[in-house]
Structure 1
Amino acid sequence: MLRRQQTQPEFHLILLRMAPQTGSTEKEAGPGSAYLQLFTWDEIRIQNGRGQGQEQWLVIDRKVYDVTKFSKRHPGGSRVMKHYAGQDATDAVVAFHNDKSLVKKYLKSLLIGELAPDQPSFESNKKKSLLEDFRELRCTIEKMGLLRPNSIFFFLIFLHLLVLDAASWLVVWYFGISFVPFVVGMAFFTTAQIQMGWFQHDLGHCSVLRKPKWNRILQIVVINVLKGLSYSWWNHLHNQHHAKPNCFRKDPDLNMHPLLFSLGKTLSKELGKKKKKFMPYNYQHKYFIFLAPLALVPFFQLSIFYFTIKRKKWLDLLLFVSFNIRVCLMYIPLMGFNNFMVYYWVSRYLESTWFIWVSQMNHIPMDIDYDKNKDWVSTQLHATCNVNQSFFNDWFTGHLNFQIEHHLFPTMPRHNYWKAAPLVKALCVKHGVEYKTKTLLEAFVDILNSLKDSGEHWLEAYLHG
């Protein structure tokens, strides 16, 4: 079945208004072909890149794109596109990309067809209503200017982490390495490093500066040079997390399952029925406190070397190696090698503890399962929750206490989350979707409660499944 292609409207309207097209019976082709073919969802779903020889197709605003080859060159990483292969990626594309003209340019050469007129854009009327209201909300948020960054805010964020980093060295340089200045310096170093982590996270989402290129350059400076990690490694993992949060085998943040922890009711029961016991999961709520941050330190250090060497990211490698050389030259002359090893690795462990509790308080207590191909809004809401706003909570978590708004609008500058929150909550109330908000302490306790429940599900299935 063939149709003639009409002139494409502006990209933001294409992506945010997905009304089925009922125009002429033919459409002019895109580059390289005379006509665009019509496809059914059954034909599209099998092109998910999983089987041998299968291609990767995406649906965006009812248009079908073959991204099989392009996914390898995708700046956000090849796996992000693969995670949406055979599915509708409209809202994900909108959420990740502020530069609509650039996306439209790339998509033009990948267009191979469109959904047939009898194929639904949505799987149910309820989902259709929710998504339509969400897209209207996004238009409202854009008109309110909530996707535009405040330069003064982020300048002060950057300045304060530089001050903390300098203070960690100055305390030791001026007061020596007796117990109190040693601990105070270590506290400054830990705080500087975690705040650099939150700031580079903003840069990775292109929410600090207007141009994506400027964000990437500053992110390289912060995460590679000032923090000693790899920007390409971080973006590769974190973009996948945002694309499919809490979806096993698609969200890299769940890689701790099942080697160290059993996560979620479904996965825990499955693990128990298979009689797999890598760890005593029924005690995981007890060993999480010390084992999770302890495991994260070597994982980060080893995986960045593996990733950058395997993918030949030589600039990344050079820059984060230069960080390690720099801190050695700064601190070893002041305190000696042995004291520096204690100073550095204890700081890294404390930073890891800080990071693991903040990053997991919004996710581990939520739904964890295989990818169910839910719509964008439902996927993000079922995998995230919020923590109450306060000056301390905002600073301590890098505004990730607004995890719901961050996941729905990943390019939104963090200083605008609180403005968007009432609008998102109203959307959830209208459609009967739970909008969870907790105190910081409740969020931490819920991590342990969730791990305890998952461990009990695993043990029951292991013994009686």
Structure 2
Amino acid sequence: MPPQLGTSVGKLEPSSDPAQQFTWEEVGLHSGKENSKQERWLVINRKVYDITHFFWRHPGGTRVITHYSGQDATDAFTAFHKDKDLVRKYMSSLLIGELAPDQPSCEPTKNEMLINDFHELRTTVKQMGLLKPRHAFFAFMFLHAFLLDIATWLTIWYFGKSWVPFLIGIAMFTAAQIQYGFFQHDLGHLSVFKKPKWNRFCQFLCLALLKGGPPSVWNRMHNQHHAKPNCFRKDPDLSMHPVLFSLGKALSIQLGKKKKKYMPYQHQHKYFALLGPLTFMLYVQFKIFHYVFKKKTWIELFFILFYMVRVYLMYVPLMGFKSFMAFYWLARFLESNWFLWVTQMNHIPMNINYDKNLDWVSAQLAATCNVDQSWFNDWYTGHLNFQIEHHLFPTMPRHNYWKVAPLVKSLCAKHGVNYLCKPMLTAFADILRSLKQSGEHWQEAYFH
């Protein structure tokens, strides 16, 4: 589901009789799996909505809402929408009925007791004030990244472009860019300010002016990831599968049986450290310009070009064009390494498969794990070492993850759901271990 509906939705289709009642089986038949022209329904709080025509105009993108076609989208809807009263005004015209009284609140295949307990936990979280941001914390996180950015230029300006200031400058520039990325991630999840529009505005300034990226691309792709994490063909973070990497046991075996070999996957754990970040860096640059031209988001294009000109004018007069190119692209490569290892340590070692339509809690826990807390780990990962809590409560300010973590752990223990937490170096090693195992599964299926 998208972050926040706005007034740009326009006039929606007229609704049918809201008194009509449906079964889960009837809802499931309207999933639009065969083609995009089929009817698409979903359920939110026992109400059945027809999104057949609306999903094309969905502000959060067409895919993120259609990922829940024929399914219960209650928890995803609740997790991503802060101003629910505003959203419901636009939902009323999509309402076509509700679940029949004899139908359970969630799909029969799901753990209703776990879902009910999670709803109680979410109520507790709200009562504890854990969804309220501490502005001083976010001001510090932004300010320290901004100071690193300024210090980079001052280092090159004062000490010149010899090896020591050159490498120190690259380190500070990389750290600044990563921390900007974590901050815009907070803004993208609407967790810094109470009003969604302020989060959106500041995210635009941070991502476009300080990192040279289009917020609309990030929002549409990242929301899909949160809606269906580690679900092949629904989570865009798996876009490199199966071109470069074979991920997950089930998908690797399937790829091998089909005799698909785009890369020597049995060696993917060896080339991940170089090829993964390098490809990601180039892919991001391609995706940025492909999207802005395809969607004609000219304002974003203007600010991306403005960022490039700004950085060029700041550094080329100090170090020359060739040194600047080496400086900039080495920093981007290191940033890609940092980002990829931090984000994938929570996901690649976990379950990767097609969408099994699990309940919200089970789906997030199956696709995520945590890394031990420490001052350094919190800073280095942008608090994504609390990936489980972040996925369960996407709009929660990250400084509160550690407070809700014991409650989530207790919920998981009560229902026998695995809550995995590990040291950071172990998490990094598990990426390679998982890739090695997936490659072996592919190799066995391919050659036998």
Give 1:72 shift. 2.5
Partner residue, 1:201: 185
1:263-278 matched pairs, under 5 angstroms? 263-278=247-262
Give 1:310 shift. 0.6
1:47 aligns with 2:30: yes
**Which structure 2 residue ranges, 5 or more long, are not aligned?**
1-12
1:271-310 matched pairs, under 5 angstroms? 271-310=255-294
Distance 1:308 1:31 in 2: 32
1:190 aligns with 2:174: yes
* Alignment deviations for residues 335-388 of structure 1 (CA, whole Å, 9 cap, x no partner): 110000000000000000000000100000000000001111100000000000
Partner residue, 1:7: none
Distance 1:97 1:427 in 2: 23
* Alignment deviations for residues 295-329 of structure 1 (CA, whole Å, 9 cap, x no partner): 01110011111111111111111111110011001
Distance 2:200 2:106 in 1: 35
Distance 2:280 2:445 in 1: 28
Distance 1:49 1:164 in 2: 49
Q: Normalising by structure 1, report the TM-score.
A: 0.92
2:19 to 36, 59, 65: 36
1:388 aligns with 2:354: no
* Alignment deviations for residues 20-78 of structure 1 (CA, whole Å, 9 cap, x no partner): xxxxxxxxxx9654553212222211222333421221100111011222222322221
> Which residue identity is paired with 1:336?
G
Does the 8 Å contact 2:17/2:96 carry over to 1?
A: no
**Which structure 1 residue ranges, 5 or more long, are not aligned?**
1-29
Does the 8 Å contact 2:16/2:95 carry over to 1?
A: no
Give 1:121 shift. 2.2
1:454 aligns with 2:438: yes
1:321 aligns with 2:305: yes
> Which residue identity is paired with 2:24?
W
Distance 1:124 1:66 in 2: 21
1:236 aligns with 2:209: no
- C-alpha change, 1:460 and 1:35, in structure 2 (3 Å) is closer
Partner residue, 2:394: 410
Moved more, 358-367 or 115-124: 115-124
Aligned residues: 435
Distance 2:305 2:40 in 1: 36
Match of 1:114, SS state, is strand
> Which residue identity is paired with 2:84?
K
Moved more, 376-385 or 310-319: 310-319
> Which residue identity is paired with 2:375?
F
Give 1:125 shift. 8.6
Match of 1:460, SS state, is helix
1:350 to 330, 334, 341: 334
- C-alpha change, 1:56 and 1:299, in structure 2 (3 Å) is same
Distance 1:191 1:79 in 2: 33
Moved more, 65-74 or 173-182: 65-74
Give 1:222 shift. 0.6
Give 1:428 shift. 0.4
Distance 2:33 2:93 in 1: 23
1:100-139 matched pairs, under 5 angstroms? 100-124=84-108, 127-139=111-123
Partner residue, 2:3: none
1:362 to 342, 346, 349: 346
Distance 1:69 1:329 in 2: 47
- C-alpha change, 1:34 and 1:429, in structure 2 (3 Å) is closer
* Alignment deviations for residues 181-225 of structure 1 (CA, whole Å, 9 cap, x no partner): 011111111000011111101100000111110000000001111
Give 1:155 shift. 0.5
